[in-house]
């Protein structure tokens, strides 16, 4: 299933379980977690996600396709 990065609107597909992705991001050094762009690029470089060359602005109609941060309360 294709999803969108919540802050940035970049289309992506997960290639690993969310738990594995989150564990990898938590271990990244602070300089690689400075921006969402850097994190997303790192995840793509390591094969955790596949990015598509599509960007969209997120609006209220896109909420159901947005990915919540695992730390956000549901």
Q: pLDDT for 13-65, tens place per residue?
A: 889 999 999 999 999 999 988 888 888 889 999 999 988 766 555 565 666 66
Give the 3-state secondary structure percentages of the chain, helix then strand then coil, rounded to 5. Answer: 40, 20, 40
Closest CA to 47 of 69, 17, 8, 6: 17
Q: Is the pLDDT of residue 7 over 70?
A: no
**pLDDT in the model for residue 74:** 47
Domain boundaries, the chain: 2-62
């Amino acid at each position: 299933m294709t999803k969108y990065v919540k802050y940035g609107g970049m289309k992506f597909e997960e290639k690993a379980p969310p738990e594995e992705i989150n564990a990898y991001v938590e271990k990244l050094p602070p300089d690689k977690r400075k921006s969402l762009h850097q994190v997303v690029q790192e995840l793509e470089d390591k094969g955790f996600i596949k990015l598509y060359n599509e960007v969209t602005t997120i609006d209220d109609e896109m909420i159901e396709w947005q990915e919540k941060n695992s730390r956000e309360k549901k």
